């Protein structure tokens, strides 16, 4: 276990649904990240939070809405997604001002 | 285009052999590199890292080599075991702005045959 948990592990949703992904880290880190992992593509950084403040939005469509209520929790709210949004969504955390990121197991999302 | 890539998408080795996974990068300003291992159904797991002021770093059964002249990174796994079967990613730092960001390669699938 890496100290980063994600729920749910699997999610199937229709294009008109609204759902949320949850990430929790038990490592005392102050930076948290959302990544998208699609087949045969590199990990794509979506959002970065430092001390609960969003410091990076990597041109992510507004149908993905992140929320970071505190340094230990990170959410990704999903609405009106497209089938091409189906992917593995990974959460990571790191100590502030370091590159070593610790990943959760991911949520496998399927949009139908 | 991507600044980090991998020479081989798949690698198959016999148990007990040594494995070498290669990675090319294009950003000569990168000064930190990291290797991750991702097993099926799991998130990436840190293996080893190296800074650009080094050309070699060793861990337990793993060695990372950095050749800055040709912008090449490799991960060597000694005495490869079935549990080493996974996708291996290299990543380089991309420290734009105030964030410590990583740029990842596509990954190499390592299969260890018994």
Q: Considering only CB atoms, which chain B residues are within 8 Å of A98?
A: 100
Please tell me the least confidently modeled range out of B58-67, B69-78, B90-99.
B90-99
* Confidence band, pLDDT 50/70/90 cuts, at residue A51: confident
- List pLDDT tens digits, range A12-21: 999 999 999 9
Residue A27 has pLDDT above 50, yes or no: yes
**Is pLDDT at A1 greater than 80 in this prediction?**
no
* Dihedral sign of CA atoms B50, B53, B59, B63 in order: positive
d(C-alpha B85, C-alpha B102), whole Å: 24
Which tokens in the block code for residue B4?
Answer: 């980090």
Alpha-carbon distance A47 to A68, whole Å? 11
Whether residue A99 is predicted with pLDDT greater than 90 in this model: the reply is no
Task: Name the pLDDT band for B4 (thresholds 50, 70, 90).
Answer: low
| pLDDT (tens digit per residue) in A67-89 | 999 999 999 999 999 999 999 99
List, as ranges, residues 9-68 from A with C-beta within 8 Å of B: 31, 40-43, 45, 48, 50, 55-56
Q: Give the tens place of pLDDT for each residue, B6-50.
A: 444 899 999 999 999 999 988 888 889 999 999 998 999 999 999
Question: What gap in Å lies between CA B42 and CA A86, rounded to an integer?
Answer: 17
Distance CA A7, CA A23 (A): 7
Binned at pLDDT 50, 70 and 90, residue B95 comes out as low
- Contact between chains at B43 and A106 (C-beta distance less than 8 A): yes
Q: Compute the 3-state secondary structure of chain A and give helix, strand, coil in percent, each to the nearest 5.
A: 5, 55, 40
- Inter-chain residue contact B44 with A103, CB threshold 8 Å: yes
Structure tokens at A22: 């949850």
- Contacting residues of A for B34, CB less than 8 Å apart: 99-100
Q: How many residues does chain A have?
A: 112
């Amino acid at each position: 276990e890496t100290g980063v948990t994600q729920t749910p592990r699997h999610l199937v949703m229709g294009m008109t649904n609204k759902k949320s992904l949850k990430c929790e880290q038990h490592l005392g880190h102050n930076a948290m990240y959302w990544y998208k992992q699609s087949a045969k593509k590199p990990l794509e950084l979506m959002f970065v939070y430092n001390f609960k403040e969003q410091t990076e939005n990597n041109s992510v469509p507004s149908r993905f809405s992140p929320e970071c209520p505190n340094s230990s929790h990170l959410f990704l709210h999903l609405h009106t997604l497209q089938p091409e949004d189906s992917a593995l969504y990974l959460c990571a955390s790191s100590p502030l001002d370091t590159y070593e990121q610790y990943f959760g197991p991911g949520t496998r999302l399927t949009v139908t | 285009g991507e600044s980090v890539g991998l020479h081989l998408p798949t690698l198959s080795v016999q148990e007990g052999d040594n494995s070498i996974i290669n990675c090319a990068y294009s950003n000569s300003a990168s000064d930190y590199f990291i290797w991750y291992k991702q097993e099926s159904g799991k998130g990436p797991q840190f293996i080893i890292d190296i800074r650009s002021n080094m050309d070699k770093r060793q861990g337990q059964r793993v060695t990372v080599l950095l050749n800055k002249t040709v912008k090449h990174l490799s991960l060597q796994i000694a005495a490869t075991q079935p549990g080493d079967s996974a996708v291996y990613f290299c990543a380089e730092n991309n420290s734009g702005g105030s964030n410590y960001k990583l740029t990842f390669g596509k990954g190499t699938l390592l299969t260890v045959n018994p």
